[in-house]
Structure formats: structure tokens, C-alpha cells
Amino acid sequence: MTIEEIRNMYLKFFESKGHTIISPAPLVLENDPTTLFTSSGMQPLVPYLLGEVHPSGRRLVDSQPSIRVQDIEEVGDNRHTTFFEMLGNWSLGDYFKKEQLPWIYEFLTEELKLSKDKLYVSIFEGNDAVSRDSESYEIWKSLGVPEDHIYEYGVKKNWWSRSGTPEQMPEGEIGGPDSEIFFDFGTELKLHETSEWKNETCHPNCDCGRFLEIGNSVFIQYKKENGKLVELPQKNVDFGGGLERMAAATIQNPDVFEIKIFKDLITELEMHTQKKYEQNKASFRIIVDHIRAATFLAKAHVVPSNKLQGYVMRRLIRRAVVKARKLSDNAIDPNIFTSLVSEIVDSYPSYFEKDESEKLQGVIFDEVNKFHKTLDKGLKEAEKIKEIDGKIAFDLYQTFGFPLELSIEIFQEKGQKIDGEEFKKAFLEHQNKSRSASAGVFKGGLADHSEEVTRLHTATHLLHAALRKVLGTHVQQKGSNITNERLRFDFVHDSKVTPEQIAEIEQLVNSQIEKDLPVSFEMMTVSEADQKGALHFFDKKYEEQVKVYTVGDPDGEFFSKEVCGGPHVTSLSQLHGRVKITKEEAVSAGVRRIYATIQ
Ligand code: SER
């Protein structure tokens, strides 16, 4: 079965169970400065999971194109991809476990005809706050799943929220216990090497490659409030299943890259490089995955650049170019990429128009060419480097456009490591020297904008912090939009913000400006950011590096600390004025909007 076929079967199946097929959200969400890409089907539906009425009803189904950048380093094995389609179905306070589990089981076994013997499931084992999910256990049993195919795990495996376990969930985040479905490919591909499960007998989560998770029913029924889990007003189901992984299960091949869409790309690549997939699996996988992701990004109007989404796209293309060059003994034919893009466009008639191919090819080709020009020189320079360090890696980035990951890879092959911290330090030093240049990825997506926008961006952080201090910590950002004249900020709050509260918020913000507090940032992992009390609302892995902006003393007393791409002023006097809230209104149930200017 092709992925087009599986996708259609899935949508139709859930339509027959009373679901409305909804259009997927764009890959790059507008007005969501907290995430680079849509990375799960539930992400655009959060307001509805929280209780807002969805225009298409309470049973929804879709297939959501998604990108998980944090998986970029993992691509090369038999199952990780950066871009993937997530099949999703949702109950917004409608049906619950006793409908969801039988339905998805029916889909997998009756529609996709996956063998029941090969399916394993997991349920939440329970903890102090939330009891064992005995209901799901019983449902699976009643469906005929043998007891030795039902596993129980704790919060690390059978709890889902965008930010991880209940402890890791920030205020306002939603989540709940989940029940995962795994396909058994029957071979233990690796001995249990991963540290976490070392010396364990094989089981669905051991990561040896025998089992592949193909679907996850999350029972989103909790929200973090005042540090505790509280029941949401409605019990939701959020199912997400990997389309490509399901396709791999239908051909009983644990290598996702053996499914038709990838196979076709790989054949194309074999033809162009005269090399065989069998002998070069990791490189082939990286190239086809990255170019597929880049093609979808081009479709979403992303252009390779040094900022945010554009930077990710650049990384994907450049990494693919380096791999392709190696396969072709350094004499790469750039047409490889155009033919891959055209194959991708043909393979996805649901997403691409036939006549779009040329335009998308052009976007990717431009970047390939640009990189090509400096690559030869850069690689030659890199050859000469005897001992790499973070500073030199930064020079390679600056002079030849080598993303850090690329240098890491090149030097890894020579058995040398690069200290990422040192690279960042060199980057920051450079940035401090040429603040006005506003270059580079860590500067964030607003780097091109005017000084007004930068000032309003900092004012947004001040307002966010002040809103939480005056109205309470339930306040969290829902959206932000900045023009040269004003800022707009949407946040969770139930009632109108009174004129008195507005005055208090303004006063609080303006007194910080009078104190001329410094604004600075540090790079750290999400989990460090969390420990330091930085605000963040997005789905990122806890190990992922983020930029944390502090207004005040980064190591002492601060007024605001927030994960953000920037840019910001470096001290509050640079705001050149006082912040004034010009308007307050409702956006939707439980979400308010303010407009503010600097006067
Ligand atoms: N939100 C869950 C996930 O991303 C299921 O849709 O895995």
C-alpha cells in the first residue's frame, strides 16, 4: 500500500465513525513565535482540547505534515525522519477510551490487515497523582490482545504532553496518560545497546529496533495549574500515528526507507550516483529525508536563510549536499536534487500541483548552488585544520557557511570532537562585536526587522511578565504579532482585564524601564531553562538548546525570563519611552488580547 492509499483509508475509516476530515495546519504556523514547525497533529488543536468549540465538531480526523527538527541527528537509522505525516483523530470531549482503542485496533487489523500477533500495546502504570490505566488494559484484553502483549510503563513512556512528563509540564500545559501501539518486526536488530535499557529483555520500548511505535492514543484530560495536575473540563482523545511507519508495518520491513515513496527516491539516487543503497544506507536515508523535508518547506514558502525555519532548511539541504558529494566522489551533479524534488512532487498528488515542481526545484537548487561554491574551498580549508575547536568551527561557519553540525560530522570522521559551547561562545562574541549586523541563527527570526520591532518585542516580554504578576500565573502566551507601530499579545485569561489592572500592569512595566534593567541572553537546554524559571510554551525536547532572554540579572533577581529567538534591546532605556496598553478585548473563550505601543 502506498502512503496515499493508507492516508485515504484512514481518513475514510474515521469519517465512517462520525469524524469530520479537517485540513491539516500549515507546516509553519502563522503567529506562533514559540515553535518553528508544526510537529504534531494536536498542536494546532490545543485551544479546542482546552474547551473552545471547533467549527467542525467534536470528532476530527486529519493527516498532519509535521517536522521534528530535534530528530535531525537521528536520521540515518532505519526509522527516523525529520518530516513525517501524522495521522490524527480527536475527540474533543466526546468519545473516550472504549471507542478509541477498538477503532484504532480495527483500523490496523481490518483495514491495514496487520497481523494481530505482531501488535503490542502499552498502558500507563500509574503513579501517586494519576492511577493505573486499568480501563485501557481491560479494553485491550477484551479486544483479544494477549496479556503478554500488553506492557505497562511509567510517566517517561506512557504520559504525553508537548513538554514531557507531568513534572516537566509548564503551567497551562495539557497532557495525560497514553496507550501506544507497537509493531513487532521480529528481529532484534541491535543488542540492547542503549544505556537506558541495557541488560533488559526485549520489550516494546527497549529501542533495539525490533519494535516500532506506530500509534499513540493520548487521553488528554489534565492541565497543569499552580504546579498540580487538574482535570480539564472535558476528556479528550488525541491519537497520532506515523503514516510512514504504518506503511513499513504493512510491508513488514522495519526499514521505513523501504516504503514506496522512499524506494522511488532511492532508486533515482542510485541512478545518479552509481552507488547502491545497501552499501550506503545512512547517506541515502539522510539525502532523501532531508530533500523531502526541504521540498515541503519550499512549498510552505520557507527560503533557506540564516534564521529560524530558513536556517533549518539550509541545514537540511547542506547536509544532503555533503552526503551526495561523498557518494559521488566529490563530483556531484546538482541535477540530482531537481530530479528528487520532481519525484517527491509526483509522489504526493494530495499536496502538490504538478506545475509547482519547477518553482520548488528552483528554491532548492539555488541553495545547492550557493553552497557548492563555497563548499570546495571550505572542505579544502577543513582538510588543513589539524585540530578543530569551537572557535575554528565558528570561523568555518562564518566564512564557508558550514553549519556547526556539518563541521561536527566532518571532524567526527577524523575522530575529533567540537565543543558546542565554545562554538556558541565564539558566536556570541562575534554577535556582541557586531550587534547591528543582526546575523545568525541565534538571533532569531525578527532580526531583519526594524529597531521599532525589536523594542516592541522586548516590551512584549515585559508585558507578559507583568500580566502574570498582576493577573496570576495562569496567564500564558497564545499569540503575538508585532508591527512597526504596535504590539499585539494574546494570552490565557478568563475575564476582562479591568482599567485598574491595566494601570497596574503599565506601572509595573514602566518602573522596570525607569530602572533601566539590562536585557541579556544565554543558550541552554530546555530543562536548564525550566530550572531557571524561564517561561516557555512549546514542544521541544528537554535536551534541545534554546535561547533564554532575561530582563534583570540572569543569575540573580530578574523581572522576566523567557525562552525566545530574539532579538531584543540590550537595556530597557533603549526602549526610548513608556509602554502604553491601547486596547484590551476578548479573542475567544478564555483568551484575551491586548494592543500596546511605546510612547
Ligand atoms: N500528540 C501525540 C503525539 O504527538 C499523539 O497525537 O504523539
Q: DSSP assignment, residue 77? A: B
Same domain? For 139 and 52 the reply is: yes
Residue 373 lies in a domain: yes
Burial tier of 114 (Cβ tally within 10 Å: 0-12, 13-18, 19+): buried
Residue pLDDT, tens place only, 508-552: 999 999 999 999 988 788 888 888 889 886 555 566 667 789 999
Q: DSSP assignment, residue 111? A: I
Same domain? For 227 and 309 the reply is: no
Q: How far away, in angstroms, is 84 Cα from ligand 1 center? A: 13
Residue 509 lies in a domain: yes
Q: Which residues make Cβ contacts (< 8 Å) with residue 129, sequence separation at least 6?
A: 166, 228, 229
Same domain? For 46 and 184 the reply is: yes
Query: Which residue, of 345, 361, 384, is where some domain finishes?
Result: 384
Residue pLDDT, tens place only, 301-315: 999 987 788 988 998
Q: How far away, in angstroms, is 240 Cα from ligand 1 center? A: 5
* Secondary structure element (H or E) that encloses residue 505, with its range: helix 499-515
Cβ of 216 below 6 Å from ligand 1: yes
Number of domains composing the chain? 3
Residue pLDDT, tens place only, 88-133: 999 999 999 999 999 999 999 999 999 999 999 999 999 999 999 9
Residue owning the nearest CA to atom 3 of ligand 1: 240
Strand, helix or coil for residue 159: strand
Atom of ligand 1 nearest to the CA of 216: 5
Report whether 368 contacts 334 (CB < 8 A): yes
Residue 122 lies in a domain: yes
Report whether 284 contacts 257 (CB < 8 A): yes
**Domain CATH code at residue 87:** 3.30.930.10
Strand, helix or coil for residue 334: coil
Residue owning the nearest CA to atom 6 of ligand 1: 240
Residue 425 lies in a domain: no
User: What is the torsional sign of CA 38, 44, 49, 55?
Assistant: negative
Q: 439, 458, 411: which is closest to 560 by C-alpha?
A: 458
Cβ of 40 below 6 Å from ligand 1: yes
Residue 305 corresponds to which cell in the numbers above? 536563510
Residue 552 lies in a domain: yes
Which residue pairs from 465-469 have beta carbons closer than 8 angstroms and sit at least 24 positions apart in sequence?
Answer: 465/535, 465/551, 465/559, 465/560, 465/562, 466/505, 466/508, 466/509, 467/491, 467/493, 467/505, 468/535, 469/508
CA dist., res. 101 & res. 119, Å (int)? 13
Residue owning the nearest CA to atom 2 of ligand 1: 240
Q: How far away, in angstroms, is 91 Cα from ligand 1 center? A: 13
> Cα torsion for 492, 493, 497, 500, to the nearest 10°?
-100
Query: Which residue, of 384, 399, 420, is where some domain finishes?
Result: 384
pLDDT at 435: 38
Query: Which residue, of 256, 289, 312, is where some domain finishes?
Result: 256
Least reliable range by pLDDT among 17-26, 255-264, 482-491: 482-491
Res. 405: pLDDT tops 70: yes
Residue pLDDT, tens place only, 338-350: 999 999 999 999 9
Predicted confidence band of residue 434 (pLDDT cuts 50, 70, 90):
very low
Q: Per-residue DSSP letters for 271-284? A: HHH---GGG-HHHH
Cβ of 241 below 6 Å from ligand 1: no
CA dist., res. 225 & res. 598, Å (int)? 32
pLDDT at 439: 28
Same domain? For 165 and 285 the reply is: no
Cβ of 239 below 6 Å from ligand 1: yes
Of 42, 62, 68, the residue with max ligand 1 atoms within 8 A of its CB, to mutate for a pocket test, comes to 42
Same domain? For 282 and 312 the reply is: yes
Same domain? For 271 and 243 the reply is: no
Same domain? For 473 and 549 the reply is: yes
Q: How far away, in angstroms, is 164 Cα from ligand 1 center? A: 11
Residue pLDDT, tens place only, 7-48: 999 999 999 999 999 989 889 876 566 678 998 999 889 888
Range of the domain at 539: 450-598
Q: How far away, in angstroms, is 473 Cα from ligand 1 center? A: 26
Of 160, 162, 540, the residue with max ligand 1 atoms within 8 A of its CB, to mutate for a pocket test, comes to 160
CA dist., res. 51 & res. 555, Å (int)? 38
Compute the radius of gyration of the chain from its Cα atoms. Answer: 25
Residue 418 lies in a domain: no
Same domain? For 122 and 228 the reply is: yes
pLDDT at 440: 28
Of 169, 178, 218, 246, the residue with max ligand 1 atoms within 8 A of its CB, to mutate for a pocket test, comes to 218
Whole-Å CA distances, 93 to 54, 103, 139, 359:
11, 17, 19, 43
Cβ of 238 below 6 Å from ligand 1: yes
Other C-beta atoms closer than 10 Å to the C-beta of 117 total 10
Other C-beta atoms closer than 10 Å to the C-beta of 377 total 11
Report whether 104 contacts 240 (CB < 8 A): no
Atom of ligand 1 nearest to the CA of 218: 5
Q: How far away, in angstroms, is 261 Cα from ligand 1 center? A: 23
Whether omega before 567 lies within 30 degrees of 0, making that bond cis, reads: yes
Atom of ligand 1 nearest to the CA of 240: 6
Same domain? For 229 and 352 the reply is: no
Q: How far away, in angstroms, is 87 Cα from ligand 1 center? A: 9
Same domain? For 83 and 176 the reply is: yes
Same domain? For 347 and 470 the reply is: no
Strand, helix or coil for residue 81: coil
Report whether 332 contacts 317 (CB < 8 A): no
Same domain? For 116 and 149 the reply is: yes
Atom of ligand 1 nearest to the CA of 238: 6
Residue owning the nearest CA to atom 7 of ligand 1: 240
Give me the mean pLDDT over the 61-89 stretch. 91
Residue 480 lies in a domain: yes
Residue owning the nearest CA to atom 5 of ligand 1: 240
Whole-Å CA distances, 15 to 9, 43, 90, 246, 499:
10, 21, 12, 19, 48
Phi and psi based region of residue 227 (left: phi greater than 0; alpha: psi -120 to 50; beta: remaining):
left
**Domain CATH code at residue 593:** 3.30.980.10
Q: How far away, in angstroms, is 260 Cα from ligand 1 center? A: 25
Residue 530 lies in a domain: yes
